[in-house]
Structure 1
Amino acid sequence: MDFPFEKLIAPISVETFFAEYWEKKPLHISRGDSSYYDGLATTREIDSLITGFSGEQGMSLSVIGSRGPETTIHEFGSGVAYEQEGVYKAFANGSTVRIRGIQRHLPGGQALAAGVTQHTSAPVRINMYLTPRNSQGFNVHQDGHEVLVVQIKGRKHWNVYAEPVELPNDQLVRGRPELFGLKAGAVRYSHSTDPNSEPPLMMEVVLEEGDFLYIPRGFYHAAYTTDTLSMHFTIGAYTLTWHDAVLAALGDVFGASPELRRSLPAGFARGADPADIEAHSEDVLAALRERLDASVLARAVDTLGARVVATTAAPFQGLIEDVDRADTLGMDDPVRMRQDLLYRVDERASTKILSFNGRTVRFPDGADGVLERIEGGAAFSATDLPAEIPAEARLKLVRQLVKVGMLMPVARAA
């Protein structure tokens, strides 16, 4: 199935969303359409995941409960004893069931993740939360990643609070994280002298089936149910930041700068000579000023972009059928680019390289017309490709692009 980002945030346009809301302020969309998210997930599918859970298939399952000011989490994973009846018992007693990484196990989750990553260039993880009536999972908290909520079943009350932490981040310090007891997003709220008090309320909404809520990272929030159970997906977008770009750029600078490759002073852990540190610091800072400029940062951003494209799972539902059918396609059979496929086109010498999901397709010089057709998004056939390419070569190319998952037959997609 397809679930493009445009549909996720409709009726807000993509341009308006990123200009006015992204990293800035919450957005609540009430649609009054309980069928809007049909096909994403059902409680029966969640039952199947719970009963089939083994803790070894890249999925994490937890039960979460709030008792007074404390939130308790019991997480099952690899090496942790798991009893499905314990999960259902906890749910019956008011605990929330959380399944992390739902995009790996449900086509609807994969479609959502693909659409969000295509527009944000952020790695995405989707968690499913199933909360019984008159219950609450987490207490008031903030996240170090962007949060997009889709209400699939039932309803849930949400409180979003003012005075957020400014742009926290979930990522541990890179390089040697074992040396740092630091998490950039772990900032205690300090709006008053009472660390246990709640921040001022900014937004109070009820999410009904088909509704949407966006909470930028750093905004404190909490959710609870009343007279119905609730099932929602939380789409976590783990954005790459300029911090990441600077660290990537430093990799280039490191390779070209002996000053950065020198060891710290011997015995520095017991206390270094300040004069020695100052002298070396001048050399290091001079090397950074000389070698770290806008062009190096631009290359670093491009490198990060290539990594995101290479490591983002493509929405390949139906690919087995497509591969099976590819060699039967004729010159006039319509195909189109697979929707929400994250890809990039790089030019090297006289070749254009189209990359996606760790795969690459090389186009020789003069193939601009082919790429324009593919990227246009509309259906086309081998007949529609530039006539200067022999018909046999055009058909072979279309069939090959179907086999690798770039294109899909329109008849199957309908």
Structure 2
Amino acid sequence: MQQRFSGAGPEPSLAWLLDPLTVESFLAEVWGATHYHVSRHRPEYFDRLLDGSASVDELAGLFRPDLSLTCMVRKDDTKDRHIYRLAGGSFDAVALGKDFGDGYTVVLESIQRYVRTLASLAHSIEVEFNFATQVNAYFTPPGSQGFTPHADDHDVLILQIRGSKIWHLYDGADRAPHDMYRKEPIAIASLPSPTDVHMEVGDVLYLPRGRVHAAEATSEVSVHLAVGLHAPTLLTLITRALDSLSHSDDRVHTQLPPRYLNDPDVRPRLGALARDAIEALEEPGVIAEGLSSLSDDLVKRGQCAPVGQAISDAIGIDGRTRVMKYQPLYSRVTDTPDGVALNFAQLEIKAAPDHEDALQFLSKSTEPFRVCDLPGLSAEQQTELARSLIMAGFLVRLPDAPGSAP
């Protein structure tokens, strides 16, 4: 899908979303503690994400037709998405439009899969935070409310794209993670008076996990994006570590004894069995293996540069050629039976052991460099490695710097 940009400016990133608040200040003072409203009075600010000249109908057209993405919500009423499937399997836009006119909010999930600028923004945040990120779009008719007061089990950044919306935030009524995990209902009648935040086009609102909130459109159609920040929990890490341990330690495969559910003489032994397995988490390398598994998740979520120019860019490179790692891109270097490998997106580039320093340099790089800067390799190895990584979309060839020697 082609996206037009509104001109020069920084690439979409977490720093760009939060500006003028710095990322470091956000992490130190806001993250997980309180909501934060970035009020800009700049309606053109998000034109780099979605074409600023597009109407609401055109924006909806960017994301539509995968029926599985569409959900219709009006307070406590959620429409089954399958009712919008026609007999021939096509999408019933007329029925959806009628329900929209009746006050239902259109919810489109994971739209970063359809718009490259949103995918780039989402992955840049993933690289920054090491968290999986998902972008949903919400189209709300004038004067309507989507969900009743609720809380999300993840942090979220709200981007107001069209119209305006009033967000009701219930400070002091945050939901505990275990309550959200059990899907305990919210006692709406007992909520305190909300703090109201008026979101205009170009504004950003951060909500921490568990903050109870609701929102309603004002006098025109509202379109906002919700960037969900899905931080792994300690439960996730422990689960991954135990799973990793299961490949080498039979303690986690200990069978539960017969009649463990109803024999009172058996039950006391279960705690000892569990403690024995949990103690294995303290052994060297077990938590590191769990972290490695989470790192693999981020690697697989990455996207490389578009391939269009890769073939021509790989021709005629030498040690003086300027290149840069495609941004944003999460990568890691791992050991293999025969050497090392650079892992990124869905790819793995294997190399001999003498390439480890070069691959580590590449994985950590954020600035342009020349092919001859790759450490520990001969000139021929440098050129061959750079060529293969340009072809794979990991490296992007840059024009020579002005005034550089030929």
TM-score bracket for the superposition, by shorter chain length: 0.7 to 0.9
2:282 pairs with 1:293: yes
Deviation digits for residues 106-138 of structure 1 (CA, Å, limit 9, x no counterpart): 112201211121122222221111112211111
Query: Matched residue of 2:77: which SS?
Result: strand
Report how far residue 383 of structure 1 moved.
Answer: 4.5
Q: Are the aligned partners of 1:168 and 1:218 in contact in 2 as well (CA < 8 Å)?
A: no
Paired with 2:319 and 2:248, the residues of 1 have a C-alpha distance of 52
Query: Matched residue of 2:161: which SS?
Result: strand
Could you tell me which of 53, 56, 66 is aligned with 2:65?
53
Paired with 1:361 and 1:40, the residues of 2 have a C-alpha distance of 32
Report how far residue 312 of structure 1 moved.
Answer: 0.8
Match of 1:225 in 2: 217
Report how far residue 77 of structure 1 moved.
Answer: 8.8
Paired with 2:247 and 2:109, the residues of 1 have a C-alpha distance of 38
Structural mapping, 1:256-267, within 5 Å: 258=250, 260-267=252-259
Q: Are the aligned partners of 1:143 and 1:217 in contact in 2 as well (CA < 8 Å)?
A: yes
Paired with 1:366 and 1:256, the residues of 2 have a C-alpha distance of 29
Paired with 2:103 and 2:297, the residues of 1 have a C-alpha distance of 39
Match of 2:114 in 1: 105
Match of 1:192 in 2: none
Paired with 2:338 and 2:246, the residues of 1 have a C-alpha distance of 31
Match of 2:391 in 1: 403
Could you tell me which of 258, 264, 267 is aligned with 1:277?
267
2:241 pairs with 1:241: no
Q: Are the aligned partners of 1:126 and 1:236 in contact in 2 as well (CA < 8 Å)?
A: yes
Deviation digits for residues 38-57 of structure 1 (CA, Å, limit 9, x no counterpart): 1322435434246x5143xx
Paired with 2:159 and 2:178, the residues of 1 have a C-alpha distance of 23
Report how far residue 210 of structure 1 moved.
Answer: 1.4
When residues 159 and 282 of structure 1 are mapped into structure 2, their CA distance, relative to the original with a 3 A threshold, is same
Identity of aligned residues (%): 25
Report how far residue 319 of structure 1 moved.
Answer: 2.6
2:78 pairs with 1:72: yes
The structure showing larger relative contact order (alpha-carbon pairs under 8 Å, at least 6 residues apart) is 1
Moved more, 112-121 or 197-206: 197-206
Query: Matched residue of 1:282: which SS?
Result: helix
Paired with 1:242 and 1:151, the residues of 2 have a C-alpha distance of 32
Q: Are the aligned partners of 1:331 and 1:395 in contact in 2 as well (CA < 8 Å)?
A: yes
Report how far residue 100 of structure 1 moved.
Answer: 0.6
Report how far residue 256 of structure 1 moved.
Answer: 5.5
Could you tell me which of 208, 223, 234 is aligned with 1:216?
208
When residues 77 and 341 of structure 1 are mapped into structure 2, their CA distance, relative to the original with a 3 A threshold, is farther
How high is the TM-score relative to the length of structure 2?
0.83
Report how far residue 145 of structure 1 moved.
Answer: 1.6
Paired with 1:384 and 1:126, the residues of 2 have a C-alpha distance of 37
Paired with 2:74 and 2:318, the residues of 1 have a C-alpha distance of 57
Match of 2:368 in 1: 379
Query: Matched residue of 2:24: which SS?
Result: helix
Structural mapping, 1:132-147, within 5 Å: 132-147=141-156
Query: What amino acid is aligned across from residue 325 of structure 2 in structure 1?
Result: M
When residues 253 and 143 of structure 1 are mapped into structure 2, their CA distance, relative to the original with a 3 A threshold, is same
Match of 2:302 in 1: 313
Moved more, 36-45 or 153-162: 36-45
Query: Matched residue of 2:369: which SS?
Result: coil
When residues 409 and 45 of structure 1 are mapped into structure 2, their CA distance, relative to the original with a 3 A threshold, is farther
Could you tell me which of 333, 337, 351 is aligned with 2:325?
337
When residues 395 and 140 of structure 1 are mapped into structure 2, their CA distance, relative to the original with a 3 A threshold, is same
Deviation digits for residues 348-382 of structure 1 (CA, Å, limit 9, x no counterpart): 69955321113223454366367536633222332
Moved more, 364-373 or 244-253: 364-373
Deviation digits for residues 214-271 of structure 1 (CA, Å, limit 9, x no counterpart): 1111111111111222111111122211101111222345456655434434455xx5
Paired with 2:270 and 2:223, the residues of 1 have a C-alpha distance of 57
Deviation digits for residues 139-194 of structure 1 (CA, Å, limit 9, x no counterpart): 1111112211111122111111122013359xxxxxxxxxxxxx7151333xxxxx
Q: Are the aligned partners of 1:253 and 1:288 in contact in 2 as well (CA < 8 Å)?
A: no
Report how far residue 25 of structure 1 moved.
Answer: 1.8
Match of 1:175 in 2: none
Deviation digits for residues 50-78 of structure 1 (CA, Å, limit 9, x no counterpart): 6x5143xxx51122223xxx333342499
Query: What amino acid is aligned across from residue 108 of structure 1 in structure 2?
Result: T
Match of 2:157 in 1: 148
Aligned length: 382
Q: Are the aligned partners of 1:124 and 1:237 in contact in 2 as well (CA < 8 Å)?
A: yes
How high is the TM-score relative to the length of structure 1?
0.81
Could you tell me which of 148, 154, 168 is aligned with 1:159?
168
When residues 366 and 110 of structure 1 are mapped into structure 2, their CA distance, relative to the original with a 3 A threshold, is closer
Match of 1:180 in 2: none
Query: Matched residue of 2:43: which SS?
Result: coil
When residues 370 and 125 of structure 1 are mapped into structure 2, their CA distance, relative to the original with a 3 A threshold, is closer
Deviation digits for residues 76-113 of structure 1 (CA, Å, limit 9, x no counterpart): 49978630111222223322111111010111220121
Query: Matched residue of 1:360: which SS?
Result: strand
When residues 256 and 410 of structure 1 are mapped into structure 2, their CA distance, relative to the original with a 3 A threshold, is closer
Query: Matched residue of 1:302: which SS?
Result: helix
2:94 pairs with 1:85: yes
